[in-house]
């Protein structure tokens, strides 16, 4: 007679089998979450933006803490301790990369001028009226405007010409138009070539030459990542062209500090004004969910001759971007 050998982990109602299956399911869920996060963190570690969907996910790198934490919970429930080590390692790398990137430090020379800078993407001109009202209220000295199509351009000329007699613009419809408005005299420069307008100028700020460059490269859409990288590269080349001239490079970069192509711009010596005020992770897009959720892709970058006194983020009805307003002090 054969004697059946019972599985001691399985009770009469199959509870042990269900528990084992539940642990395997939890381990698989954790592994899938960790694998996805590892691809993005791996590219960040390798200092590359990778290919779609990595550039898009890199923009939200701090939010990868959420799936990583969920994966750790699954490892605990599944008693998968090797996976727990994997998850803790990912958490450590994410915490490391969330730290601000780029140089800091105060200018060494005496202050010679004060200026207030505002940059705003008005989303196909829809927020033009709100921008005009904000400009009148805050009175910035220099205004960088992206996605300022023909009607936006005409409205700015009509409503703000007295306060801002100097301007440099690239006319265009939809998202292609861009404008720099200034209280200071401007000498036009070649600007930066791109799909959307990126004008440049040299401002005479109380007798001191200051380079102004508007930034608005293409976004990293799934089929346009190489174009996005090329246009950010051109901005990097422009930033490095005259390292001894005070420079303000501002606009919608369609990139955060977690993108390698944007860090290349900071590597030229430019500094993010928001970072100097401890606001480097304040979201500017999408404004409808900021500040609870979003990413900072609108920046005011300044050269070593500038100190930042204050940074603020303004919500303008009609656009999905927050405007960035900074008070700067120019030092010799």
pLDDT of 15 higher than 60: no
**Would you say residue 309 lies in a domain?**
yes
Per-residue model confidence (pLDDT) at position 265: 98
The helix (H) or strand (E) run that includes residue 54 is helix 54-58
The H or E element containing residue 40 is helix 15-45
Beta bridge partner(s), residue 200 = 213
How many structural domains are present in the chain? 2
Q: Is the pLDDT of residue 145 over 70?
A: yes
125 and 243 both lie in a single domain: yes
Tell me how far apart the alpha carbons of residues 90 and 87 are, in angstroms, rounded to a whole number. Answer: 5
Q: Do 150 and 231 lie in a common domain?
A: yes
Say whether both 236 and 308 belong to one domain: yes
- 229 and 298 both lie in a single domain: yes
Pair (94, 127) in one structural domain: no
Per residue in 201-225, pLDDT tens? 999 999 999 999 999 999 999 999 9
Domain of 21 in residue numbering reads as: 15-98
Looking at residue 196, what DSSP letter applies? S
- pLDDT tens for 40-58 read 999 999 999 999 999 999 9
Predicted confidence at residue 13, as pLDDT, reads 53
Q: What is the DSSP string of 200-246?
A: EEEEEETTEEEEEEEE-PPP--TT-HHHHHHHHHHHHHHHHH-TTS-
- Does residue 313 fall inside a structural domain? yes
Among residues 76, 98, 120, the one where a domain terminates is: 98
* Cβ-contact 189, 200 below 8 angstroms: yes
Among 98, 126, 145, residue at a domain's last position: 98
Cα-flanking dihedrals φ and ψ of residue 157, to 5°? -65, -40
Cβ neighbours for 196, distance < 8 A, ≥ 6 positions apart: 146, 147, 172, 175, 176, 178, 216, 217, 218
Judgement on whether residues 220 and 280 belong to the same structural domain of the protein: yes
Kindly state whether residues 242 and 279 are assigned to the same domain. yes
Q: Examine the pLDDT at 169 and tell me if it is beyond 80.
A: yes
> Is residue 106 included in any domain, yes or no?
no
Confidence of residue 10 (pLDDT cuts 50, 70, 90): very low
Give helix then strand counts, H and E, for the chain. 9, 12
Provide, for the chain, the percentages of residues in helix, strand and coil under a 3-state DSSP scheme, each rounded to the nearest 5.
Answer: 35, 25, 40
pLDDT at 2: 43
Domain of 179: which CATH number? 3.60.10.10
Q: Is the pLDDT of residue 20 over 90?
A: no
109 DSSP assignment? S
Stretch 192-206: mean pLDDT: 97
Based on the fold, state whether residues 132 and 251 are members of the same structural domain.
Answer: yes
pLDDT digits (tens, 9 = 90+) for 94-127: 999 999 998 888 888 899 999 999 999 999 999 9
Same domain for 184 and 273? yes
Residue 33 lies in a domain: yes
**Domain end residue (candidates: 71, 98, 125):** 98
Q: What are the E-state strand segments in 44-199? A: 111-121, 142-146, 166-170, 178-182, 186-188
Rg (CA), the chain: 25
Among residues of the chain, what percentage have pLDDT more than 70?
Answer: 94
Average pLDDT of the residues in 25-50: 97
- Give the rounded percent of residues in the chain with a pLDDT score beyond 90: 88
Whether residues 81 and 119 fall in one domain: no
Q: What average pLDDT does this structure show over 179-197?
A: 97
Residue 8 has pLDDT above 70, yes or no: no
pTM listed for this prediction: 0.91
Does residue 137 share a domain with residue 32?
no
Q: Using pLDDT thresholds of 50, 70 and 90, give the confidence band for residue 19.
A: low
Name the band, by pLDDT with cuts 50, 70 and 90, for residue 297.
Answer: very high
pLDDT given at position 103:
86
Per-residue model confidence as pLDDT tens digits over 234-261: 999 999 999 999 999 999 999 999 999 9
């Amino acid at each position: 007679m054969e004697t059946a050998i019972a599985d001691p982990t399985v009770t009469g109602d199959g509870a042990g089998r269900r528990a084992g299956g539940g642990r395997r399911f939890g381990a698989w869920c954790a592994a899938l979450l960790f694998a996805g996060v590892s691809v993005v963190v791996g590219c960040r570690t390798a200092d590359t933006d990778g290919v779609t969907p990595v550039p898009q996910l890199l923009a939200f790198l701090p939010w990868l803490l959420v799936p990583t934490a969920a994966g750790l919970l699954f490892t605990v429930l599944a008693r998968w301790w090797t996976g727990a080590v994997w998850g803790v390692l990912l958490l450590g790398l994410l915490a490391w990369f969330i730290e601000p990137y780029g140089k800091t430090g105060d200018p060494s020379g005496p202050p010679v001028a004060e200026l207030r800078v505002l940059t705003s993407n008005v989303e196909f001109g829809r927020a033009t009226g709100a921008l005009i009202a904000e400009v009148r209220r805050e009175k910035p000295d220099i205004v960088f405007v992206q996605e300022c199509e023909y009607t936006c351009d005409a409205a700015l000329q009509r409503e703000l010409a007295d306060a801002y007699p100097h301007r440099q613009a690239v006319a265009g419809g939809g998202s292609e138009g861009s404008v720099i408005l200034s209280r200071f005299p401007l000498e036009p420069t070649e600007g930066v070539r791109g799909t959307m307008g990126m004008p440049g100028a040299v401002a005479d700020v109380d007798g001191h030459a200051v380079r102004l460059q508007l930034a608005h490269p293409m976004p990293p859409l799934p089929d346009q990542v190489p174009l996005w990288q090329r246009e950010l590269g051109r901005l990097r080349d422009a930033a490095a062209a005259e390292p001894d001239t005070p420079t303000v490079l501002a606009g919608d970069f369609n990139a955060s500090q977690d993108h390698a192509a944007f860090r290349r711009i900071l590597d030229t010596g430019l500094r993010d004004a928001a970072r100097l005020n401890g606001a480097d992770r304040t979201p500017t897009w999408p404004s409808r969910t900021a500040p609870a959720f979003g990413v900072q892709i609108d920046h005011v970058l300044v050269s070593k001759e500038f100190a930042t006194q204050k940074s603020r983020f303004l919500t303008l009805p009609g656009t999905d971007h927050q405007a960035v307003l900074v008070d700067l002090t120019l030092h010799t």
